[in-house]
C-alpha cells in the first residue's frame, strides 16, 4: 500500500494525537472539521474536473466531456454528503454522539483518515488524467482514466457514508 503524506491528512493525524478528537464536548467540532475537509476535497476534485471538461469540449471530445460530467456529479454528491451529514442540515446532529465507547471512537478516527486518504488518491488520479490529456490528444486514454476515477470517487463517497454506521453504533454490517 502506498504511503500517503498529504498535508491535510498529516494535520488531521496531529489533531487526533494532540487530543482525543471525538471526546465528549468536542465531538461536534471534530465532526464538523472532518466533514468540512471532505467537502473541500470534493470541491477541489470538481475544479480539476472542470478543466478536463473544458479541454474535452474545446477538443470536441464528447465522450470524454460526458465522462467528466458524470464524475463531477459524484463529486457534487460527496460535497453535499459532507455538508449536510446524516441529519441533512449543515450542522450534523448524530443521536449516537454521547454513546460512543473508546473502541468506536478509535474506529471512527481510523475510518475518517481512510476517507481522506481515498480522496487524496482521487485527487492524484484526476491530476494524472489532466496531464495525460494535455500530453496526448487521444480521447480514449482520458475516457479510461475518467472511468477509473468514477469508481474511485464512488468508493470514497460510499466509504465516507459508512461513518454514520460507526457513529450510530453499527460497527458491523
Burial bucket for residue 168 (CB in 10 Å: 0-12, 13-18, 19+): middle
How far apart are alpha carbons 133 and 158 in whole angstroms? Answer: 28
pLDDT, residue 4, reads: 52
pLDDT given at position 103: 81
Give the Cα separation of 142 and 144 in Å (integer).
5
Distance of alpha carbon 159 from alpha carbon 77, whole angstroms: 13
Residue 44: burial class (beta carbons within 10 Å; 0-12, 13-18, 19+):
middle
What cell was used for 113? 483518515
Q: Which three cell numbers stand for residue 62?
A: 464528447
Question: What pLDDT shows up at residue 84?
Answer: 83
| pLDDT band with cut points at 50, 70 and 90 for residue 6 | low
Residue 51's nearest CA partner among 155, 161, 146, 118 is: 146
* Position 3 pLDDT exceeds 70: no
Give the Cα separation of 87 and 75 in Å (integer): 20
3-state helix, strand, coil in the chain (%, to 5): 75, 0, 25
What is the rounded CA–CA span in Å between residue 9 and residue 7? 5
At residue 9's C-alpha, the angle toward residues 20 and 29, to 5°, is 40
**C-alpha angle 136/142/143, rounded to 5°?**
150
- Tens digit of each residue's pLDDT (9 = 90 or more) over 72-117: 999 999 999 998 875 444 555 555 455 667 787 788 888 999 999 9
83/167 Cα distance (integer angstroms): 17
At which residue does the C-alpha cell 473502541 appear?
A: 103
Section 52-78 average pLDDT? 95
| pLDDT value, residue 24 | 58
Of residues 93 and 134, more confidently modeled: 134
Amino acid at each position: 500500500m502506498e504511503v500517503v503524506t498529504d498535508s491535510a491528512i498529516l494535520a488531521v493525524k496531529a489533531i487526533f494525537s494532540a487530543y482525543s478528537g471525538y471526546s465528549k464536548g468536542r465531538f461536534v467540532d471534530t465532526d464538523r472539521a472532518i466533514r468540512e475537509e471532505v467537502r473541500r476535497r470534493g470541491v477541489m476534485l470538481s475544479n480539476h474536473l472542470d478543466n478536463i471538461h473544458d479541454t474535452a469540449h474545446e477538443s470536441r471530445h464528447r465522450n470524454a466531456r460526458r465522462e467528466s460530467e458524470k464524475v463531477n456529479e459524484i463529486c457534487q454528491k460527496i460535497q453535499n454528503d459532507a455538508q449536510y451529514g446524516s441529519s441533512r442540515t449543515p450542522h450534523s446532529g448524530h443521536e449516537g454522539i454521547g454513546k460512543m465507547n473508546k473502541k468506536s471512537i478509535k474506529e471512527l478516527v481510523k475510518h475518517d483518515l481512510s476517507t481522506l486518504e481515498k480522496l487524496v488518491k482521487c485527487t492524484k488520479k484526476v491530476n494524472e488524467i489532466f496531464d495525460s490529456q494535455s500530453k496526448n490528444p487521444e480521447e480514449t486514454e482520458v475516457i479510461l482514466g475518467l472511468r477509473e476515477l468514477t469508481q474511485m470517487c464512488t468508493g470514497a463517497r460510499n466509504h465516507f457514508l459508512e461513518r454514520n454506521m460507526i457513529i450510530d453504533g453499527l460497527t458491523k454490517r
